Structure 1
Amino acid sequence: MVSTTENSVKKEALRYLLAGIATLTVVHALGRFSFTPLLPYFISDNMLTITQGADLATINYLGYLIGALLAVRYSGLKFIKRYLLIGLVGNVLITIAQCFTPQFDLLLLWRLLNGVTNGITFVLAPALLLEWFIMNNKPQLSGLVYFGVAGGLLAGGLLVDSTASFLQSAQRWIPVAVVSVILALYSTIQFVKISVQRPEYGSTNSKTPYSNRLFDRRSTPLFLSYIGAGLGYILPMTFLPTLAHDTMPTDSIWIRNVWIITSTSCLVFIPIWNWMGHRYGDRLSLIYTYILQALGVAMVLLTPSGVGIIACAILVGSGFLGSVMCTQRLARYFQPHQGPRLSAALIAIYAGSQLIGPWLAKLWIEHGGTLLQSFAVGLGAFIWGLFWSLRTPKT
């Protein structure tokens, strides 16, 4: 009987993990970050300009912040599954709508709503799965859900580049939309089945009752460091392919592959960060993620050529999901009694900080600066994140 029950839990864990991976692929990697490899093509099609691309990125991140804040409101276990599914389905419908929208003004609306649904889903899906994994004694699997972001980044880059010669303008979204519909259907079927219960914390018999405060002396440095994570990674993850098109020869093989290199690095390092966090602690792993990403942005600033751009793609790609994974788990370790609410608050901070990046880049370019120079903001942000992560308590 024990063996049968354990096998049943393992099968459920695999199905729910795959559903979570597919969900993050749809809303975050395809729905959101496919815009990054698409932007150079939209510019070459004369559909958008670089400043319009920055505007679309900024409003998408504003929507992401709004969605994350809404997720704080609906992170209770009685709401979480319902609003997760609403966000997922809404995100797919918006991606489909973009296939028929070359107009910039209407795209602003779609990218805003894409951000809202992405923010809701990106918060609630990992939070729901983390609660289920902990409830079933499998917390070590929680970080693997971010394979959806890494694998989706790779898939999005391949979809965009492999169909670039066949499609034009807004039609370039079509391959992304088709894959999104298929994955969202599978995820919806699985998430309908999942059920979680809130564990009891801080009961009358507990010697250490828990507070409902999100900000305390242990969690505050972690929140502050996460500001650096959001602001630091967003410029490379939004503009690195465009920077490659601007600074490298048009026949360079790296122009088409810079996004694939970024996403492959991300994919390779997810199990490494997951293992390191489980083996040596999430705090130490988090520190290393900031170091790697800071080095990546420094490389592109010091050597703005093929070498610097590829180094940035590898180092930022390898570290940014590690920062997300380790911060989320470390925060829940500090405050285990309010996991979904805590996850939502962290993502809101992340979204708010990354909202600033494209806006600063646009201002800099409009005042005579270059896209490359704006990456200095990212370097400063990673140094900030490293500073505060070093001040996060060890226990």
Structure 2
Amino acid sequence: MNELDGRRVSIAAAAGLAAAMGVGRFVFTPILPIMVESAGVTPSSGAVIATANYAGYLLGAVALSIRPGLNSTSMFRSWAAILVASEVAMAFVDNTFAFSLLRLIAGLASAVVFLACASTVAKQVGSSPGITFGGVGAGIAASGVLTLAAAPHLSWQALWIASALLTAVLIAPALTLRIHAESHFSDQDAGPSTRQRLIWRVLLTAYFLEGLGYIIVGTFLVAAVGGHGNSSVGPAVWIVVGLSAVPATVLWQAIARRIMMRRALVAAFALQTISALLPALSDSSGVAVVSAVLFGGTFMGITMLTLTTAAALPLGRTAATLTAVYGVGQVLGPLVVAPALGDSYTVAFVVATVVLTLGTVGAFAAARLHAPR
């Protein structure tokens, strides 16, 4: 019965992540080029709007790391409704400030839903984090398909309303969840050892670097291939990212069982570093597709593996704290590369490659520290 309950909770939480992260958070990526064409949004103001969303996500994560008690069933349902409403409202405003405010609210909502689903699955006997985190990829693919199919027929305003409807449909199963918040402190009797504290600090640093590096790739990969004279290329690449992410977390969970969690984390970081390097070497659509496969196949895997590794440490509130430092990285990512961007996105991908290489080194260091002595 516990296994059946665990599977049900995993699937419901996956639906929540598909709605809040895959669509509610990331649908702005394929819609942005359309808004640049039709809504008077410039690339620079688009970056501001995107950063507002990352900032909202950070604020939500910080709030829940400080006050984990806010992570409740009623709060989860309220923010799910707010997320849908924020997407609908995007169709009725027409300036950067209003767009940014609404995307900040959507970021807050995404953080609340993400942590609610992640903490509930972590506490449910028989649950599968691989299934749950795969929901993000499914939502990303759905947002890409929606944009690709509907953009020729709908205005950008109608696309936002359609996105809100998709979010509402996807999140409905998750509303049945009874949310379990993270504890203030570890459930284990003994506190962390010096080595465990060091592992935690290294994981935090590596995950910060992941937030910084991954968001650069995620922000600019679609834009980098969008100028090839075919408006379908960008959304198609985004669909590839999502489809690659759907099975990725289940596969990484299986890999972790075979080679250990810490080694799987190093491998995922290394592959994501390659996903950043490839578009720095070539701007062809074929290379972008390979990069999209590697990127989609690793970014949620790294999240799942990092959160699972940290949850095994005798510490409290690890998911919320990790999500907060990840959020800091996401806010900084576009700001770090923006001054160096010209007609090409090469510099952005070079920076992402360097950052993710350092993240790989951090993951390797954490793995060495974790090894039995």
State if a TM-score over 0.5 links the two structures: yes
Quick check: 1:216 aligned with 2:168? no
Cα separation, partners in 2 of 1:372 and 1:38, compared to 1, 3 Å: farther
Indicate the residue corresponding to 2:348 in structure 1: 374
- 1:260-315 CA distance string (max 9 Å, x none): 11111112322110111233211111111111111111111111222322222111
- Distance in structure 2 (CA, Å) of the matches to 1:153 and 1:269: 13
Quick check: 1:47 aligned with 2:40? yes
The DSSP-based 3-state class of the residue aligned with 2:198 is coil
Greater Cα offset, 147-156 or 373-382? 373-382
Q: Which runs of 5+ in 1 are unaligned?
A: 1-5, 204-208
TM-score (norm 1): 0.86
Indicate the residue corresponding to 2:83 in structure 1: 91
- Distance in structure 1 (CA, Å) of the matches to 2:76 and 2:212: 25
Q: How does 1:267-346 map to 2 (within 5 A)?
A: 267-335=246-314, 338=316, 341-346=317-322
* Equivalent position amino acid for 2:52 in 1: I
- 1:24-83 CA distance string (max 9 Å, x none): 11111111101111111111224311111111111111111101001113324x853333
- Check whether the contact 1:261–1:310 (CA below 8 A) recurs between aligned residues: yes
Give the C-alpha shift of residue 157 in structure 1: 0.3
Give the C-alpha shift of residue 251 in structure 1: 3.5
Give the C-alpha shift of residue 364 in structure 1: 2.4
- Distance in structure 2 (CA, Å) of the matches to 1:197 and 1:154: 30
Identity %: 24
Indicate the residue corresponding to 1:153 in structure 2: 140
The equivalent position to 1:100 in structure 2, one of 92, 99, 106, is 92
Quick check: 1:357 aligned with 2:333? yes
Cα separation, partners in 2 of 1:79 and 1:256, compared to 1, 3 Å: closer
- 1:142-170 CA distance string (max 9 Å, x none): 23211210100000100111000111132
Q: Which runs of 5+ in 2 are unaligned?
A: none
- Distance in structure 2 (CA, Å) of the matches to 1:384 and 1:175: 40
Cα separation, partners in 2 of 1:344 and 1:47, compared to 1, 3 Å: same
* Equivalent position amino acid for 1:41 in 2: I
Give the C-alpha shift of residue 87 in structure 1: 2.5
Cα separation, partners in 2 of 1:240 and 1:331, compared to 1, 3 Å: same
The equivalent position to 1:177 in structure 2, one of 164, 168, 178, is 164
Cα separation, partners in 2 of 1:369 and 1:255, compared to 1, 3 Å: closer
TM-score (norm 2): 0.91
The equivalent position to 2:177 in structure 1, one of 191, 198, 206, is 191
Cα separation, partners in 2 of 1:43 and 1:216, compared to 1, 3 Å: same
Indicate the residue corresponding to 1:3 in structure 2: none
Cα separation, partners in 2 of 1:13 and 1:107, compared to 1, 3 Å: same
- Distance in structure 1 (CA, Å) of the matches to 2:186 and 2:282: 54
* Equivalent position amino acid for 1:66 in 2: L
The DSSP-based 3-state class of the residue aligned with 1:390 is helix
* Equivalent position amino acid for 1:162 in 2: A
Greater Cα offset, 115-124 or 157-166? 115-124
The equivalent position to 1:13 in structure 2, one of 6, 9, 22, is 6
The DSSP-based 3-state class of the residue aligned with 2:92 is coil
* Equivalent position amino acid for 1:239 in 2: F
Indicate the residue corresponding to 2:21 in structure 1: 28
Cα separation, partners in 2 of 1:195 and 1:217, compared to 1, 3 Å: closer
Indicate the residue corresponding to 2:123 in structure 1: 131
Give the C-alpha shift of residue 177 in structure 1: 0.7
Indicate the residue corresponding to 1:263 in structure 2: 242
Cα separation, partners in 2 of 1:274 and 1:161, compared to 1, 3 Å: same
* Equivalent position amino acid for 2:115 in 1: V
Max radius of gyration: which structure?
Answer: 1
Give the C-alpha shift of residue 211 in structure 1: 4.6
CA RMSD of aligned residues (A): 2.4
The DSSP-based 3-state class of the residue aligned with 1:391 is helix
The equivalent position to 1:384 in structure 2, one of 351, 358, 361, is 358
- Check whether the contact 1:291–1:386 (CA below 8 A) recurs between aligned residues: yes
Give the C-alpha shift of residue 223 in structure 1: 1.0
Indicate the residue corresponding to 1:69 in structure 2: 62
- Check whether the contact 1:269–1:318 (CA below 8 A) recurs between aligned residues: yes
Give the C-alpha shift of residue 202 in structure 1: 4.3
The DSSP-based 3-state class of the residue aligned with 2:226 is helix
* Number of corresponding residues: 368
